[in-house]
Structure 1
Amino acid sequence: MSVDDYSENPFALSADDAAKLDAIEQALLDPSPRRIGRLDQWGLADTYEVHAEIAEYRQLSIAMADGTMIDASLSLPRNLAPGQTCPAILMPAPLNDLGHRAYLPMIPRWALGGYAVLAYSQRGLAKSTGEIHVAGPQDVADATEIVNSLIQIEGIDPERIGCFGASYGAGTSLLAAANDLRIKAVVGTSAWTDLFASLYENGTRHLAAFEALVKLFKEERCSAEFKGIIQKIRGNIIDDEVRKFAGDRSPKNHLQAYNDRQVPILMTTAWHETIFSVPAVIDTFNDLTGPKSLLVQIGDHGNSELPGLLGLVSKPTEMAYRWMDHHLGGTAGDGAQPQFGVRSEYMHNLLSDLRHEDWQSYALPKKRFHLADAAAGERDGRMAEGTPHQGWTRSVKVAVHDTEAVVAPKLIQTGLAERAGLPHVYKTADIDRGLAAIWTTAPLPQAMRVQGELELRVTLTPQAPDATIVAYLMDCDPATGTANIITNAPCTVTNEEPGQATTVTFPLQPAHYVLRKGHQLQLIIDTHDQFYAGANRAPSSIDLTSPQGSESYLDIPLSTLS
């Protein structure tokens, strides 16, 4: 596997979905019987016939103050009574070549709910001119200009404007709402809140995801500032300029603005999100004091809302319709009240639906599992509650290729298969124990659930000045020697003397996972995952130890399955 394997477009539509989207666009632009009739093969003719009766649709370009032309589409209710106004939804595009067209299948639902919709492609994206600034201050200023244009349209209620965005559009929506008092409610699906944490987790660059995003942006369309940041991240130069660039694009830095105005914010993410930091989204959610909702689902970035973006039903989009109805007064939803607090699915039950008032009531208390040496005759270490274990050493060689343990064989697609009930199967019994250290619990006496945040402490003694380890927690079936991944995280130690012991304590990605009776929890630590840019040098090795006073452990939010 190489970084190039990750850089294929993970958001590319199937041929059928692309044909359907083209037919939808033509039917919106020309709602003639012939155009609408083409949609009958997908069962959509009635939907777009109704839209043509209740709303008018057109595509337009909006000129920014600097002459940049923003490609957009507008759906307006027909036949508003004199003096009657309607709520409006602003929809900045996700990151793909479709730009605002990615939202076309959602427009009839908004229109049926009495909303005007203005969807647009941020500068440099799709058919919009200008350079890509990655939801920077220029993009936020553009959003304000676009709202200015929106409220000039007759019938738009300037007091009932909401922002909906997926992925790139989610970040743009959150940042726009922090800056523009006229945006009264926000929904961000597959959202980010801390761009730096998404690029640089526990001192380790998320290089594969970063390169995949750069490829989608198209580097030649990026601003000079962004091009400079790209080269710095590739060169592992994480300086104040990179931090400021990321900070300017991080909604978490606008908490006071959200809280002062009590902006209603709904965010969604995924347990195996490989693009943006899930812990950062949870931290921001916890720090919000206004109306808020968090949905966490099975899969990876963009997986769960995809059906909704295509005009079908998904939890994120259904929640979005209810959210906007509640706060803006439309009727796009099913009439149910929106979900406040935390809503979640657990792996791998797509039909699961748990609800909690807040993250504190959602997350289970942690149980501490101490890491111990292997028992006599066993090749893997033990992991158990009780007494701390010290004095052992397990050495792993620095690898130049992945072991069987990886974050995901493919960005996005692995999570999509997981949502379809086909999680990747890891043959952990086949892992070379010279390249990975493994600790395993005894078989579970009953079904258990992992629910919340996890934390690992271990002491590293690398032969080289810098060292990277990657930790994976697996659900292992001892009968087959295979496993499914529960969670993971990297950690990099830098600027240390060779041979110097350094104790690191770091979080793993939060998880919600149900384990069967008889299965085992399995912690794997190795030195290479193509998903991350490691700091290791080969040939060398890293000793993992558990010194007195800093004994190694893994804290897991674990309880019996009720």
Structure 2
Amino acid sequence: MPVSSPSDSPFALSSEDLARLEAISEALLDPSPRRIGRLDQWGLADTYEMYAEIAGYQEVSIAMADGTLIDAALSVPRNLAPGQTCPAIVMPAPLIGIGRKAYLGMFPRWALGGYVVLAYSQRGLADSGGEIQVAGPQDVADGGEIINWLVGQDSVDPERIGFFGSSYGAGTSLLVAAKDRRVKAVAGTSAWGDLFASLYENGTRHLKAFEALVQLFGEERCSKEFRGVIEKIRNNTIDDEVREFARARSPKHQLAAFNDARTPILLTTAWHETIFSVPAVVDLFTQLQGPKSLLVQVGDHGNSELPGLFGFISKPTEMAYRWVDHHLGGSAGDGREPRFGIRSEYMHNLLSDLSHPDWAAYALPGQRFHLSGAAAGESDGQLTRDQPQPGWTRSVKATGRGTDVVVAPKLVQTGLAERLGMPHVYKTAEIDRDLAATWTTAPLEQPMRVQGDLELRVTVKPRAMDATIVAYLLDRDPATGKAAIITNAPYTLTNQQAGQATTVTFSLQPAHYVLARGRQLQLVIDTHDQFFADANSTPTTIEFSSPQGAESYLDIPLAPVD
């Protein structure tokens, strides 16, 4: 695997980021004035000079039972009294070509907090040997051996071991903790709950995200088992082998272990996460019975914690320091108690910060909007609050191309721009009504918030046996016709009788969004999005309808802004 991510990867670090991490690595290995002085260009010289005074750093290779060497870095506080032991934090790497080096910016904070720190690259990643297993049973076994090695160090308190990880490292951390009760606390940022739900939503493959991850793994370093699963997913062979591969790698299926041990778990995700399923993370959080916390922020995968990984301030890493301190007795955080329950930002506002004890208290009740037929001379239907609207039909063409409305023009990067206050703008007048059906509310009479779970019901009649539809909910400005995306979901029907109408009911991704007075909610349903695999035969026609007794609706958790 290359030292850095491919330049066209949505996860690629800038040359400046890589140069800074390389300079930090050199200064840690050789804390001479010359090496540390190089960090002054980033304002980090004082930080790593102080680190060198309080902790020792070394790079080590840890041999697994099968002889595989795992690349790791160890930090141990200096000047410990005889017999003195410290809490320890273990950090499996995120999925990035530099592996464990992604965490170098966090070492000073952990060291100042009195922790022994061990960061490592999972097998097959970066400079570690072996083949990539995707947080499988072998990686979990490796995690246990890493702990064995760590507790063999005189300075480690075996009763105070925690795991922190981002993305791939979050999944690894959770799965190791489920199998090894020596792990007393976990903080996982950009975590996943159910790998299958992340790959396959409502019968639809998340193909673009999947291929981006495969590119990042590097197929040549993947295990034979994983390479077989890659080909099956590409070929839409979603069989028991694929399901079992995902099940074994899903923290959701380790709930009994988490709850029996009452493992303290902190999870973070993003509203417009395009890699891992947000509902699955919420579901995992909801079913945990031990101490737990969930942070959901503006943006996409990895956007929020990245500054914290580099040693700056980010909400996910600050929460992680407090979380681990609270449960292991260190002092890496700011001394405040961690927050339990749910902490949330609403979209496009980084300064928003709401807390609720659980998802039931957080989610607003759904308000039902009925999908109506288009009025005479109009192409768009209405979303109305009054009565069900039966009896209409609306046809769209499936041509293998979609409208300009998509989940995200770019994985990760679109969410990052959104996080910086620049959401992608859709021009709703330019939506091709031959390719998509739209329904719109009247302008809102007061500011409103969308907060929680959404559900769509619509009757679909494809002219072929298989069909894919994609639903989007937009925040539209009627004065300009411009809109931003609130949420989305795909749905794929398979093995249907051609021409047979089927009523489908499915959830859209949960959302937390504030709409200004005068804005409109707009539902768009089309047949293609580059983000998802497309099951439609093309060209063909798909008909939407609202039969009596199964009228179409969209439930939106909507309430006035307080």
Query: Would you call these one fold, judging by a TM-score over 0.5?
Result: yes
Q: CA deviation at 1:7?
A: 9.6
Aligned to 1:32: 32
Q: Deviations over 1:73-99 (max 9, x none)?
A: 000001111121100001000001010
1:548 aligns with 2:548: yes
Counterpart position of 2:358: 358
Structure 1 residues 268-417: aligned runs within 5 Å: 268-417=268-417
Measure how far apart 1:402 and its partner are.
2.5
1:14 and 1:208 mapped to 2: Cα distance? 22
Find the counterpart in structure 1 of residue 504 from structure 2.
Answer: 504
Q: Could you tell me how far apart the structure 2 residues matched to 1:291 and 1:396 are?
A: 49
Is the Cα–Cα contact under 8 Å of residues 135 and 171 in structure 2 kept in the other structure?
yes
Offset, 1:178: 0.1
Matching residue of 2:147: 147
SS in 1 for 2:317: helix
Match of 2:115 in 1: 115
- What secondary structure sits across from 1:111 in the alignment? helix
Letter in 2 for 1:94: P
**CA 1:7–1:274 in structure 2 vs 1: closer, same or farther (change >3 Å)?**
farther
Is the partner of 1:51 in helix, strand or coil?
helix
Alignment RMSD (CA, Å): 0.9
Partner Cα separation in structure 2 for residue 224 and residue 15 of structure 1: 33
Amino acid at match of 2:201: E
Measured in 2, the distance between the counterparts of 1:458 and 1:439 equals 12
Match of residue 200 from structure 2: 200
| 2:445 match | 445
Name the residue aligned to 1:138.
138
Gaps of 5+ in 1: 1-5
Q: In the alignment, is the contact (CA less than 8 A) between 1:7 and 1:215 conserved in 2?
A: no
Offset at 1:394? 0.5
Secondary structure of 1:90's counterpart equals strand
| Partner in structure 2 of residue 252 of structure 1 | 252
1:453 Cα offset (Å): 0.6
Residue number in structure 2 paired with 1:495? 495
Q: One-letter code of the match for 2:457?
A: R
Q: Does the 8 Å contact 1:396/1:526 carry over to 2? A: yes
Once the two structures are superposed, residues 167-205 of structure 1 have per-residue CA deviations (whole angstroms, 9 ceiling, x without a partner) of: 000000000000001000000100001000000000000
Matched position secondary structure for 1:49:
helix
8 Å contact from structure 2 (residues 402, 435) kept in 1? no
Distance 2:193 2:173 in 1: 11
Q: 1:7 to 1:508 in 2, by over 3 A?
A: farther
- Output the CA distance in 2 between the equivalents of 1:478 and 1:374: 18
Q: Distance in 2 between matches of 1:21 and 1:449?
A: 41
Structure 1 match to 2:539: 539
> Quick check: 1:93–1:99 contact (8 Å CA) kept in 2?
yes
Q: How far apart are the structure 1 equivalents of 2:11 and 2:433?
A: 36
**What is the CA deviation profile of residues 369-421 of structure 1, one whole-angstrom value per residue up to 9, with x for unaligned ones?**
00001123332100011210111000000031231110000000000000000
Alpha-carbon separation, structure 1, partners of 2:114 and 2:385: 57
Deviation per CA, 1:37-72, whole angstroms, max 9, x where unpaired?
A: 111111111100110000000101100010111011
Task: Decide whether the 8 Å contact of 1:7 with 1:211 is kept in 2.
Answer: no
Deviation at 1:13, TM superposition (A): 1.4
User: Match for 1:432: what amino acid?
Assistant: D
Q: How far does the alpha carbon of each residue in 1:296-316 deviate from its partner, in whole angstroms, 9 at most, with x for none? A: 000000000010011100000
Cα distance in 2, alignment partners of residues 153 and 324 from structure 1: 20
TM-aligned CA distance change 1:541 to 1:7, over 3 Å: farther
Residue identity opposite 1:504 in structure 2? V
Residue aligning to 1:166: 166
| Secondary structure of the structure 2 residue equivalent to 1:25 | helix
**Structure 2: distance between partners of 1:503 and 1:140:** 42
Partner deviation per Cα, 1:503-532 (whole Å, 9 max, x = no partner)? 110000000000010010000000000100
CA distance in 1, matches of 2:478, 2:69: 59
What amino acid maps onto 1:43 in structure 2?
Answer: G
Is the contact made by 1:395 and 1:542 (CA closer than 8 Å) also made in structure 2?
Answer: yes
Mapped contact 1:91–1:164 kept (Cα < 8 A): yes
* Structure 2 Cα separation of the partners of residues 34 and 66 of structure 1: 40
The residue that corresponds to 1:3 in the other structure is none
2 CA distance for matches of 1:386 and 1:269?
36
1:186 aligns with 2:186: yes
Distance in 2, Cα, partners of 1:117 & 1:378:
64
2:58 corresponds to:
58
| In structure 2, C-alpha distance between the alignment counterparts of 1:132 and 1:13, rounded to whole Å | 21
Q: Please give the alpha-carbon distance, in whole angstroms, between the structure 1 residues aligned to 2:411 and 2:483.
A: 19
Q: How many residues align?
A: 557
Q: Which residue of 1 aligns with 2:3?
A: none
- Aligned counterparts of 1:309 and 1:375: Cα–Cα separation in 2: 54
Instruction: Report the alpha carbon displacement of residue 155 of structure 1 after superposing the two structures with TM.
Output: 1.2
TM-score by length of 1: 0.98
Contact 1:462 1:541 in 2 (8 A): yes
Please, what TM-score do these two structures have when normalized by structure 2?
0.98
